[in-house]
Structure 1
Amino acid sequence: MTQYVGYIAMSLDGYIATPDGGVAWLDPFNEAMGADGNDGGYGAFISEVDALITGRETHQQVLGWGWPYEDRASYVLTHQADYSADHVTAAGDIETLRKAIEKAGHKKVWVMGGGAAQRAALDAGLFDTLRVFVMPTILGGGRKLFTDGPQHNLSFASSQTHGGGVIQIDYLIKD
């Protein structure tokens, strides 16, 4: 059975990116977490992931940085029926992606962003767990962790503190 997981950082006021989609604001926190020899569990996390779901904008942004996810399958959530780019296994709406992921037999899929992709996966009942890193900053605006939609209840699993005042909160999805 496929496990769908979230692993994402946000500001204290709930933003994952600046209004233009920038994430450079995370750099000082990543450096602070790394200074104590802790990568926030990212190394262990990514080693278990065999596929990704991204939104189209996130996919394009990551391509611009240079694809860091090796040969992991990449599923792009988009309304563009003919979307194609490097590192795209399949593209389409959330149900199209779910079917393709299940057909491929993936074990652990990271729903990696942005807010519309997070919301689509949540509303479709995909998430099993959600790990949120709360960064001690207030951006004051930008792109939210989840776009607007219906309420979903979560079950607290654990929390942990990291260097630089970063707090990790793990949730199980109850819906």
Structure 2
Amino acid sequence: MTRIIADISISLDGFVTGPDPGPENGLGTGGGALHTWAFSDDPDECRILREGTARSGAVVLGRRLFDQVDGVNGWNDEIGYGAGEAGRPAFVVVTSSPPESVRLTGLDWTFVTTGPADAVAAARERAEAASAAGGRDLDVVLMGGGATIGSALDAGLVDTLTLHLAPVVLGGGTPLFTGGMPRTLVQRGVVRTPNATHLTYDVP
């Protein structure tokens, strides 16, 4: 069965970027420390990253994050979601207006202008099609940014929340949680690695 998984790195004080993020500094000041684990040679961290990519039948991201990864200093053949893997998932972007052009034309992009719920529905269709073609269950992964995941959580669209908790206090930036209804999650897993603690929760 296809699950909707929100998966993001976060600081101890709840930020998914450092202060002052922008087009030339997508993760903000100090925000690169959030993703140290993803670029590590540690076997457990490599495994967690590989398993996350392998389960992805489709990936949802917001427009600001798309502009960063599709920008001149963004993803390439060596750096990016699924880089170096045999296959890459479809990508669905939540946006008010599609871009005029796309640099990363080798990836499968869909732009949804009618909100997160429709973006998740489109991604589910792509993931279920990939599951049927591959003969194994694949999931929809919400990779960010923080506003996209926060909106999906508030709308009740997320089945599982995976947080990669980095041992850093950023003091500001983009928060993942900005209010909304209180909720109690169900803890399903904790994995400690040298550069992060990886937390998995079911979202009732």
Q: TM-score range by the shorter chain?
A: 0.7 to 0.9
Give the distance between the partners of 1:9 and 1:102, measured in 2 at CA: 23
Q: Per-residue CA shift, 1:43-62, capped at 9, x if unaligned?
A: 01111201111010111111
Unaligned runs of 5+ in 2: 82-86, 130-137
Does 2:100 align with 1:66? no
1:50 aligns with 2:38: no
Residues of 1 paired with 2:125 and 2:17: CA distance? 32
Residue number in structure 1 paired with 2:132: none
Equivalent position SS for 2:119:
helix
- Corresponding residue for residue 25 of structure 1: 33
1:36/1:99 Cα in 2 relative to 1: closer, same or farther (>3 Å)?
Answer: closer
Q: TM-score, normalised by structure 2?
A: 0.73
Q: After the TM superposition, list the runs of 4 or more consecutive aligned residues in structure 1 that deviate by more than 6 angstroms.
A: none
Aligned-pair identity in percent equals 29
CA RMSD of aligned residues (A): 2.3
Question: Structure 1 residues 2, 30: closer, same or farther in 2, change over 3 A?
Answer: closer
Q: Which moved further from structure 2: 37-46 or 102-111?
A: 102-111
> In the alignment, what sits opposite 2:161?
130
Cα deviation for residue 144 of structure 1 reads 1.0
Which of the numbers 148, 151, 154 marks the counterpart of 2:182? 151
Do the aligned partners of 1:130 and 1:172 also contact (CA within 8 Å) in 2?
Answer: yes
- 2:200 partner letter: D
SS at the partner of 1:61? helix
Q: Within the alignment, does 1:75 sit opposite 2:92 as a pair?
A: yes
What amino acid sits opposite 1:97 in the alignment? A
CA distance in 2, matches of 1:55, 1:28: 22
Which residue of structure 2 lines up, in the alignment, with residue 101 of structure 1? 123
TM-score of the aligned structures, taking structure 1 as reference length: 0.84
- Tell me, in whole angstroms, the C-alpha distance in 2 between the residues paired with 1:103 and 1:84: 25
User: How many Å separate the matches in 1 of 2:14 and 2:8?
Assistant: 11
Instruction: Rate the CA distance shift 1:74–1:35 in 2: closer, same or farther, 3 A.
Output: closer
1:37 maps to a residue whose letter is: P
Residue from 44, 50, 63 that aligns with 1:38: 44
Q: Please give the alpha-carbon distance, in whole angstroms, between the structure 2 residues aligned to 1:84 and 1:102.
A: 25
Letter in 2 for 1:142: G
Q: Greater share of strand residues, 1 or 2? A: 1
